[in-house]
């Protein structure tokens, strides 16, 4: 039996850097799992839309799809928008929605990769305070997850880790940078907990002006690609079991 198609469901953005980064990540996923068919669909702003991809797969005769939200937390898009789009798919498609990417120890490894690429070294950890800067959400569950990630990351040896948000929630990135300064950290780094550039990540960049180090977005880091594959594998197992495979 063929493996289910992996459909990566991205939010989309008017900023062309967003779609370019999503496609880079999908290429990384394909490289890490040769033979797996991976498609990309967007909820808004970019093409192809999720619905158009599902219609095309159905026309080809595909029957099994794992739809994977390209999201770091389980907020409104994962709980409402994506299920609504998937519910309108052609009825012959068997679709299973995978879990969102976070939290994951692999994502923490990707965050550290970006900080080291920006100039830090493992020897800097104990004297460096880190701002875990996310896009933000009005969903209390998503905000709680970011706080949990910050606490977990702090236990790996950083001087301190503070969550911050570009929208909807507080504190802002610049406030968290200032707090870490006042705490006495020798240096302050900002680690964007976002997948691709765009309007809100740009707000994080502006808020990081007082930091010593600013990491890049997670993007097509190999750890992120592996999380996608792990979520795909976890979602496809029940689907194949139900089919008797």
Task: Summarize pLDDT for 198-241 with one digit per residue, the tens.
Answer: 999 999 999 999 999 999 999 999 999 999 999 999 999 875 55
pLDDT > 60? residue 242: no
Q: Greatest CA separation found in the chain?
A: 61
pLDDT > 60? residue 92: yes
Sign of the Cα pseudo-torsion (120, 125, 131, 134, in order): positive
Q: What are phi and psi of 78, to 5 degrees?
A: -75, -30
The whole-number pLDDT of residue 241 equals 57
Structure confidence at residue 58 as a pLDDT band (50, 70, 90): very high
Q: What are phi and psi of 162, to 5 degrees?
A: -125, 135
Q: What is the mean pLDDT of residues 13-34?
A: 98
Quick one: tokens of 60? 């080809």
Quick one: tokens of 61? 């005769």
Q: Are the C-beta atoms of 137 and 147 separated by less than 8 Å?
A: no
Quick one: tokens of 28? 């990384």
Q: Are the C-beta atoms of 46 and 13 separated by less than 8 Å?
A: yes
Secondary structure element (H or E) that encloses residue 208, with its range: none
| E runs forming strands in the chain | 5-10, 38-42, 64-69, 94-97, 128-134, 160-165, 187-192, 213-214
The whole-number pLDDT of residue 206 equals 98
Q: What are phi and psi of 70, to 5 degrees?
A: -85, 70
Neighbours of 160 (CB within 10 A): 17
Q: Are the C-beta atoms of 17 and 237 separated by less than 8 Å?
A: no
The whole-number pLDDT of residue 237 equals 84
The whole-number pLDDT of residue 76 equals 82
Task: Summarize pLDDT for 108-131 with one digit per residue, the tens.
Answer: 999 999 999 999 999 999 999 999
Q: Closest by alpha carbon to 110, among 16, 211, 213, 194?
A: 194
The whole-number pLDDT of residue 59 equals 98
Quick one: tokens of 152? 């977990």
pLDDT > 80? residue 1: no
Q: Are the C-beta atoms of 96 and 239 separated by less than 8 Å?
A: yes
Q: How far does the chain reach from its first CA to its final CA, in angstroms? A: 7
Rounded to whole angstroms, the Cα distance separating 56 from 26 reads 18
């Amino acid at each position: 039996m063929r493996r289910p198609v992996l459909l990566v469901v991205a939010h989309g953005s008017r900023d062309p850097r967003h779609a370019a980064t999503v496609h880079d990540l999908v290429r990384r996923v394909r490289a890490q799992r040769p033979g797996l068919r991976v498609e990309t669909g967007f909820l808004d702003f970019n093409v192809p839309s999720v619905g158009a991809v599902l219609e095309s797969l159905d026309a080809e005769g595909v029957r099994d799809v794992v739809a994977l939200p390209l999201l770091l937390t389980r907020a409104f898009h994962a709980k409402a928008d994506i299920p609504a789009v998937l519910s309108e798919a052609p009825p012959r498609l068997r679709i299973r929605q995978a879990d969102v990417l976070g939290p994951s120890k692999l994502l923490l490894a990707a965050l550290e990769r970006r900080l080291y690429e920006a100039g830090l070294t493992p020897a800097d950890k104990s004297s460096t305070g880190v701002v875990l800067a996310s896009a933000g959400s009005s969903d209390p569950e998503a905000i709680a997850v970011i706080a949990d990630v910050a606490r977990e990351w702090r236990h790996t040896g950083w001087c301190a880790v503070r969550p911050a948000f570009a929208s909807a929630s507080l504190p802002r990135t610049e406030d968290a940078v200032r707090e870490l300064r006042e705490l006495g950290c020798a240096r302050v780094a900002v680690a964007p907990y976002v997948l691709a550039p765009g309007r809100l990540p740009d707000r994080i960049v502006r808020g990081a002006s007082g930091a010593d180090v600013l990491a890049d977005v997670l993007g097509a880091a190999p750890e992120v690609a592996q999380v996608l594959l792990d979520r795909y594998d976890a979602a496809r197992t029940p689907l194949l079991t139900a089919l008797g495979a």
